[in-house]
Structure 1
Amino acid sequence: MSSEAISPSSLDGIKRLAKSIKVERGIQHVRALDDAARAAGFQNFRHASNVLGAATKPKRSRPGHRVFLTAYWKDREGNGSGRETLTLWLSVPWADLIAPAQLQNHRALVDFHGEGPDHLARKHLQRSQSEARRAVCAAARVLQFMDATKLRPSKSHSRAFPKGRSSNAVPGRDHYSIWYDRETKSYLFVDEPYEKAAEGKSQERAAWAKQHGFAIVRPEWSGMYAPDVGSRLYLISDETRGVPLQPIAAALDGLPAPIVETAWDGESAPTVPIFVSPGAIAKAQAERDKAKAPRERAGARNSVDYVQTFVGPRRRPNGRMQIETHAEVGRLLKSVLVATWHRKGVYNRVDAIRNELDEWTQREYTHGELPNEQFELYYHESGSTFSRSLTEPERHRHAESLAQAKKLLVEHYPDCRPLRTLLKKMDMATQSLLTWTV
């Protein structure tokens, strides 16, 4: 029975018919799939996959991350121009599949750049509408591959060759690319020669794989390079150190047919206005809203306002340290002040710290809660030596006093900007103290 009399009603039936058509007519597998789909009443195999696949599989929600792929073109001879934009649905945002810098690692993505969280656009004008569409479709196929495999393109070519040498590469390779698995830290060689060329070297390629301990698998999914004109995708990897091929092949075979120009279902529009994606618009609006929103005052978290006499509004930690601890911190600070009158990098900073802590004490407690000798907590040090230098053991002893005071403050106050500012000043005083020489 001639294949022309067959009208399949299922996706599997279309695939079986395509195999018969391929043998009868001597055409590429991709073209046979499209012819078989048309015999079943569809526009092409991709159309059949979308319709019949949705009808036969359990209902699933559509992948929730959309990416727009755009290329602009200008026909220099006919003066025509325009924009071609294709919408592709992915399981994750495009930036989760590939870092912007890695777009340079694949021929189909090298001229694309991120225009938004949901938009990739070509940097340079294409010479015709057809060329723009082909460029967009090629990028879409690579994104399909990445979304299914979660591999990233790489320029580390030697990592995918036997013994790291390109002279050992698989015979008949063409239009190849290198891919990296971030989880296993291993590499995959993807070869995409034209089908007849690969078939002519099939025995040589099999012998090569056996010699070097590599595996070669050809998925049903026909590939990224030029599946509409006869290229075929082969997965090639080291059997022990490379990316396992069967899971990759299975993931690719779950994809719809590769997106090609002849099945174009994108948007064709004038060059102007420039296309701005919904994600880019939302991002710009969020940035504008953020700029307009009143900014939280620095140090607001875990801190409260107070007004210092002759100074004005200030902030302090939203908490209070026990009076006994204030007294201990004051004792430690005063012991340093007594010895560092002539080292202003230490004395002035420690003096400022005690002034601040004295203010905090007065805000933390009522007048009735404070001891009669309130002023003694941080002031009235005695016994100043007025030394113009300190021995190394003395410097380290006073540095230890500052470290102990810092430890007490950290333990008894919540983390906030006023406290961090005070501690930074204490660190600077310690540094000045330890570098004090005659």
Structure 2
Amino acid sequence: MEHIPQSVQPSTLAGISRLAKAIKKQDQITHLAALEIAAQRAGYQNYQHARHALNRDQAPLHGQLVHRIYLSAYWRDSSSKPRQSGLETIRIELPRPLAEFLKRHQIHRARNLEGFFLESKDHLEMRSNLDSQIRARELLQRAALSLQFIEATGLRPATNRLQRKPMDQLDDLPNVDHSSRWISPAGDWVFLDEPYSHATKDQYHSERVDWVASRGLHGAWPNWNGLYYPGNAHPHLTAANQTLLNQVISTVQALPPVIEGDWQQWPWISDGYTSQFISPAREASGNKRKPRAGTTYGWSKNAYQYQTIEGHGSVWKPDQSMTLGNHVAVSDELKRLCQSKLPITAYNKILEVRSELENWLFAEASRAGRDATDAEHDVYYGGESPAGYKTDMDRLAAMDRVRATLTTSYPDCKPRRDLLKSLATARALTQKSATR
């Protein structure tokens, strides 16, 4: 194995990062630990010290050391008179581009980023409307803090069952609240929870310390404002790896303000509700933005758009109605199937069909110019649950009867095909289970 001379002293963040990769490979240590060593060889106290010093001294000369990331959210305040609305956007600057520290599939799993989607490689946009300008700014501020946390610590949100499983025990942590689960590049985990001040009182604090120690874990209250409710909740970190925990604590305690000053006075970019933010990366790509989901009207053969949700799109159903008698007959079959012993994935598909048909029933009443009656409200989820089917043959036959009724009651269209596809999946899973 090649030895790395101690005389190697990088003078840029990119150089520190390259040295860290070599140290990690040679010493078989975590990436965070290697960054600390590389930064110290470069003459800094730690990696955070190097980041701050090099970004401050070199960013004006070498723009590549600072990457701009934009966050935006729409808002509509119906409580004000006249009603107000708008689009809020903020720009933050981090040492790395977004794609280097957060993947598309990880976004909605991260604390404060659950409602965002990747609009372009330098722009995250919240999908749903928020109810006021102040709320939009508040949630964008928290999202900015989360991006800074992820980039600085190297942690990523846990995205699958295997990653989350070791942290399941932390659900029983005394006074646990507002938790989020994180994974290091090496696969070690860090559990962050952010309770209010009562959890830091002597009685509750000692209870937590004892609980953590009894399981061979390590915990700490860093001097840091956290992510959930900065300045009001109290972040607590728990990990099995003491070295990783110490590194994360050191990093978060050294974090500078993501933007200087009171977040309400940040340099917000405020625009009209019907506008769309065009980031530099979007503009440079030459690809125009599509209209915001749920703000345009489409067309589909034999179907109509019965519900529109801005930011999410439109919901469609067949343009004909099914008789109430057929709704009742189908609902009885679906209720009995839900009481049967189905594979869990098949059961979930039946639930999808049941829920969608209730939506269609209510939409059919609305299209007829009236509210759904009490009897209609009870069709799919009211009344007593009938007994489930006892044999696989009976379950499969019930699904076939549901399919036949839907096929004869609704015209061929995409919403009907989608519903029948869910039903077909449930049938295939049930049949597969029966042949084992």
Q: Which category describes the TM-score, using the shorter chain as reference length?
A: 0.3 to 0.5
Task: Give the greater-gyration-radius structure (CA).
Answer: 1
Q: TM-score, normalised by structure 2?
A: 0.48
**TM-score, scaled to structure 1:** 0.48
